[in-house]
Amino acid sequence: MSDVKKNKALELEGRTRTFSLRTRDFIQGIEKNLTNNHYAKQLTKSASSIGANYIEANEKFSLKDCVFRMKIARKEAKESIYWFEHIQSKQKEEREFLMNECIELKKILSAIILKLERKL
């Protein structure tokens, strides 16, 4: 892996980590009720899984495995967007920021997947 590719991978790894941590902080600040509690559990799983699967993809055993892990990360991003839409929160600006960041992560992952699939 070239230095440029390695730096971009590390940058995206950091971005997914920051997203996961900010999502955790957001969830800790939402109103606790039966519905939000359920959505928060789902969001916690999907938001943290984006970065975890991205890291796994970079430790690929094969190009096919890498694409598979990237697709899981993208799927988790889509799911996170879904849960953000359902959570009721007074933290509207942070919710919007995190949803937009998740949309951006999904787009980045989609672009990476397309590029990698051309190599298969």
pLDDT beyond 90 at 74: yes
Domains along the chain with CATH numbers: 3-119 (1.20.1440.60)
pLDDT of amino acid 2: 74
13 within 8 A of 19, measured Cβ to Cβ: no
Is residue 102 within 8 A of residue 18, CB to CB? The reply is no
pLDDT in tens, 22-34: 999 999 999 999 9
In terms of residues, how long is the chain?
120
Predicted confidence at residue 4, as pLDDT, reads 76
Cα angle 74, 108, 119; round to 5: 85
The stretch 100-120 carries a mean pLDDT of 97
Q: Which pTM value belongs to this model?
A: 0.93
CB contact set of 23 (below 8 Å; sequence gap of 6+): 43, 44, 47, 48, 80, 98
Q: What is the rounded CA–CA span in Å between residue 120 and residue 86?
A: 37
